[in-house]
Each structure stands twice: as structure tokens, then as C-alpha cells.
Amino acid sequence: MHIHILGICGTFMGGIAAIARSAGHTVTGCDANVYPPMSDQLRALGIELIEGFDAQQADIKADIFVVGNVVARGKQPLIEAILNRGLPYTSGPQWLADTVLRDKWVLAVAGTHGKTTTSSMLAWILEDAKLDPGFLIGGVPENFGVSARLTASPFFVIEADEYDTAFFDKRSKFVHYRPRTAILNNLEYDHADIFPDLAAIETQFHHLVRTVPGNGLIVANGREPAIDRVLERGLWTPAERFGSVGGWTLGEADARGSFDVFFNSTLQGRVNWGLIGEHNRLNALAAIAAARHAGVPVAAAIDALARFENVKRRMEVRGSVHGITVYDDFAHHPTAIATTVEGLRAKVGNARILAVLEPRSNTMKLGVMKSALPDSLKDADAVYCYGANLGWDAAEALAPLGDKARVFDNLDKLVSQLVADTRPGDHVLMMSNGGFGGIHARLLEALHQHYHEEIVLTPMHRYGGYA
């Protein structure tokens, strides 16, 4: 079968492409911006990429067009041609459900925060237990080096996003997946471009809960009132709570981050690892519980997490120059920003943290959460915000931080200011859910030129952010 994918360079649709190619299909695709690293990954798989959404692509002899949610009516000539000519099309989640997931034991990880990290933990636990899971994750787990793969195993781990499916299907993506094991990690207001309020998101999570069979399992965060409300609307599946009394709970963590795991107040074992933050420990509890449902003994899951290597762009050290360390993190929601900064603070003590933020998500661009930004950044010693292309005044929003916050609309000026302000021992934390204009490499190169020192790259030195 020939599949042509619209919006192929997004993480999810790129994963769909890799899985389809692995399944033996001919795969081509297009996107508005075809650029590395996704373009390189896809071309390495033998997938032809086309820049743009021109109507002539409708002449491609595709058996089906798989449409990403980046595509909208009236904006891309290709989708208009597909509709006018009555060509077959579907969404990415629907294609995945119909052709891959229908024969699998699906383990889905949903929540505002922690989906990528928890999915990666869960996939790794199953892999370490020799269960050879397939997966589709919105990041690159270091234990695997790829974001998606298809295997012969009955198990498939998927990051279950609540964002809408496509222009013709406004249900959340995750309602297509029909998981046997579902993790509900947490629930806050997000995606202000498609959801009017938290209640609307809770309704989508309720729809997800309705799809989990009676012989399945829901692993739910016991500290989240919003998840409580979701489950109160209807629950037809056994549920295990984590993070609260009566389910999976944490012991005190040591300075390195290792901690004891309890289930129904009975000690199950100790996770010995170097990830920081209670959010990561809660992610681990959820992964252990879900893996247990798939048949992995708790002791084996706990042992596997000692070898978990985290996810790219989760407090990833990109390099250091003259004792100045530069990090890359995916944090873009105020809760994630606060947790990431707090986690780094716990690791580096009194050393200076220079937080550099790009408010890039649709929710951030709308300014819905701008009032929460100052408090989320309070643990940083200095704050730098890239405020270009925002519909609100970033300087005004960050004014409660006083002189320690500065806003820039030019990346070169931002990099130059960082070079001038940094000193040995500093930690520069870059936070964005996009590429941030390659600012990490630009800063490292600028520091190299300034100090005439080699850039020290440490790709495996990670602390573990919130994602």
C-alpha cells in the first residue's frame, strides 16, 4: 500500500511514517518545513519528502492520504484537491488504530505532563523484561534512540495525546487507541487553542476512560482532583492509584534521587537511579504499575529503572564552555517550567541558574498562562525571554520578577547578552517545545569564541526534566 502523509515532519506523524515503512508500506509525505532531524530520519528510511502542500501531490498514486492535525481547511491546496476529487483520506490516529493497534495490547500514557518520560520508562521496562514492545512516543528515549518502532510483540506503548485528531475529527487523539492499560498521569488546563476550559479536557479524558475494557487497568494519579472528577463520571475498569494512600506510594528519596516503592503499604523494592524530582518518581510509580498489569514482576520493573537513560530534551546537557553548562529542556507549560527549574536548583545548590524561555506553544502564544510565568521562574537567578511573535507583552508579564528578567525579540542579541552575563559555574537552562532557533549550539559556539576554549559535549549527562 502507498501512504502519503500530510504533515509528516511532526513527531507523531513522523512516527506513523516510520511504523508504516516498517510494516512494508510505500511511504511518502509532505510538510511546510522539511528540515532535520526528522527529515534526515525519514529519508534514511527511504521515505520521499516534498516541501509544501501543493495540489499537484493529489496526482500521487497513493492508496490513502494520512492527514495530520497541522492541516486546516482553506490553507493547504493539497487537502482541497483531495476533498474535491473524492480521494481516500484518514487521520494519523485512525490509521494507527485500524492497521497496527487493533491486534495489540495497548498501554497508553495520558496526562498534561509526563507523557513522554512515563511512556519511555514503560517501554524500557517491557524491553528489559524481554517483551520487545512496539511504541510511538513524542520524544526520543535514550534507551532506544528512536521515537517509534513496530515489533511482532503483542505489546505497544503509546503516548496518548489529548490534542485534537484532525480538521475533520475534533475528538482527542487518544480516543482512537482503545488501550487495555491506561495511565492518567495528571490533568491541568492546556491547549487553549482548542479547549475553552479544563472541564472540556476532562470530558475528553472521560471519553478515554469509556474505551478501556473491564479486564483492563486504569493507573490514576491519586493527587489530582481533575482526574478524580473524570473517574467520578464513570468507571467500568479496575483502577490503581499512585501517589496517594491505598495504592502505589513513594518512600523518601536520597540525595541522588533513589527511592523506595510501596504498594498497599508493603515495600516492593528500591529504585536506584540518578533522576531528580518527585515528578519523575511519580512517573516511575505509574510505569511500574502499568508494567505489572502486562505481566512484569514489580522487582524486575524496579531493577530495569536503574538502567533507564531518560529522554532527549529532558534536562539534556548540550555542552559546556569555561565551566558554563548549557541545558536543553522541553518545558513550556508553567507547571513544567517550575518543576524543571526546581529540579535543577535541587541538583546545583547555590550555583547560578540562567533560565532562557521561548513561549512557543499555542497556549503560550495566546497568553492564557502568562500570569503564571513569574512564579514558575522564581527559583532562577536570571530570566531571559524570547518574546518575538507573541500576541502579548512578555516584559509586562514578567515585570513581577523585577530586574532579573529581560525580554528580547532578536536571538542574536539574546545570545550576546548571555555571553556577557554568564560566568564560570553558571547553568544556562533553555526551555522551549521547539528548536528555539538552534540557540543551544549558537550559545556554545559564541562562548567558545569568547573564551577561546573547546566546547565540551556531554550527551549522556542528564538530570531528568518534566515531560
How far is the C-alpha of 195 from the C-alpha of 185, rounded, in Å?
19
Contacts of 307 (CB under 8 A, 6+ apart): 124, 128, 143
Q: Label residue 457 by pLDDT band (50, 70, 90).
A: low
Out of 119-123, 152-156, 192-196, 238-242, pick the least confident: 192-196
Q: Which amino acid is at 361?
A: S
Q: Which residues pair with 327 in a beta bridge?
A: 317, 429
Which class for 73: exposed (0-12), middle (13-18), buried (19 or more C-beta within 10 A)?
exposed
Which class for 60: exposed (0-12), middle (13-18), buried (19 or more C-beta within 10 A)?
middle
* Helix (H), strand (E) at residue 193: none
Positive or negative CA dihedral for 47, 14, 27, 60?
negative
Q: Which domains does the chain have, with CATH numbers?
A: 2-92 (3.40.50.720), 100-305 (3.40.1190.10), 316-451 (3.90.190.20)
Cis peptide upstream of residue 37 (ω within 30 degrees of 0): yes
Q: Among 120, 115, 109, which Cα is nearest to 183's?
A: 109
Region of 86 on the Ramachandran plot (φ > 0 left; ψ -120 to 50 alpha; else beta)? left
Q: What does DSSP assign to residue 214?
A: T
CA-to-CA dists, residue 441 to 444, 445, 446, angstroms: 5, 6, 8
201 grid coordinates = 479536557
Please determine, for residue 434, whether its predicted confidence score (pLDDT) is greater than 80. no
Q: At what angle do helices 92-99 and 11-22 cross, to 10 degrees?
A: 30
Strands 427-431 and 324-329: parallel
CA-only gyration radius of the chain, Å:
22
If you average pLDDT over residues 304-313, what whole number do you get? 85
Strands 259-263 and 266-271: antiparallel
CA-to-CA dists, residue 371 to 181, 353, 367, angstroms: 36, 21, 8
Please determine, for residue 125, whether its predicted confidence score (pLDDT) is greater than 90. yes
Calculate what percentage of the chain has a pLDDT beyond 70.
Answer: 94
Q: How many CB atoms lie within 10 A of CB 459?
A: 11
Q: Which residues pair with 354 in a beta bridge?
A: 382, 428
Out of 34-48, 95-109, 199-213, 293-307, pick the least confident: 34-48
CA-to-CA dists, residue 196 to 201, 233, 363, angstroms: 9, 20, 11
**Residue 461's pLDDT is what?**
40
The whole-chain average pLDDT of the chain stands at: 89
Q: Which amino acid is at 139?
A: G
Of 292-296, 316-320, 339-343, 423-427, give the range with the top mean pLDDT.
292-296
Q: How many CB atoms lie within 10 A of CB 61?
A: 7
Q: Which residues pair with 46 in a beta bridge?
A: none
How far is the C-alpha of 8 from the C-alpha of 39, rounded, in Å?
9
**Residue 246's pLDDT is what?**
85
**Residue 36's pLDDT is what?**
65
315 grid coordinates = 534536562
Model pTM?
Answer: 0.79
Q: Label residue 367 by pLDDT band (50, 70, 90).
A: low
Quickly list H helices, 104-196. 115-128
- Contact (CB, 8 A) for 370 and 392: yes
- Contact (CB, 8 A) for 8 and 14: yes
**Residue 315's pLDDT is what?**
73
- Contact (CB, 8 A) for 62 and 28: yes
Please determine, for residue 467, whether its predicted confidence score (pLDDT) is greater than 50. no
